Amino acid sequence: MKYLIFDAGPIISLAMSGMLPIIEKLKGVFDGEFILTPHVKREVVDRPMKIKKFKLEAMQVQDMIERGIFKMSSSVVSDEKLEAETKKLLKITNGVLRTTQTGEKIEIIHGGEAACLAFSKLCGASNVIVIDERTTRMLTEAPKSLEKMMEKKLHTPLDAQLSLLDELKDFRFIRSAELLFVAHKKGLISMKDGKELLDALLYGVKFKGCAISSKEIEDMKKLV
Min dist. Cβ of residue 79 to another protein (A): 18
Q: How many residues does the chain have?
A: 224
If the CB atoms of residues 19 and 220 are measured against another protein, the closer one turns out to be: 220
Distances from the Cα of 192 to the Cα of 123, 189, 197, angstroms: 39, 9, 7
CB 69 within 8 A of CB 34: yes
User: How far apart are CB 159 and another protein at their closest, in Å?
Assistant: 13
Cα 60 from Cα 83, distance rounded (Å):
26
Q: Is 215 exposed, middle or buried (0-12, 13-18, 19+ CB in 10 A)?
A: exposed
By beta-carbon proximity to another protein, the closer residue of 70 and 173 is: 173
- Closest to another protein by CB, 30 vs 88, is 30
CB of 144 to another protein, least distance (A): 10
Shortest CB 164 distance to another protein, Å: 17
Which pairing describes strands 126-130 and 173-174: parallel, antiparallel, or unpaired?
parallel
Dist CA 176 CA 196 (whole Å)? 18
Residue among 84 and 142 whose Cβ is closer to another protein:
142
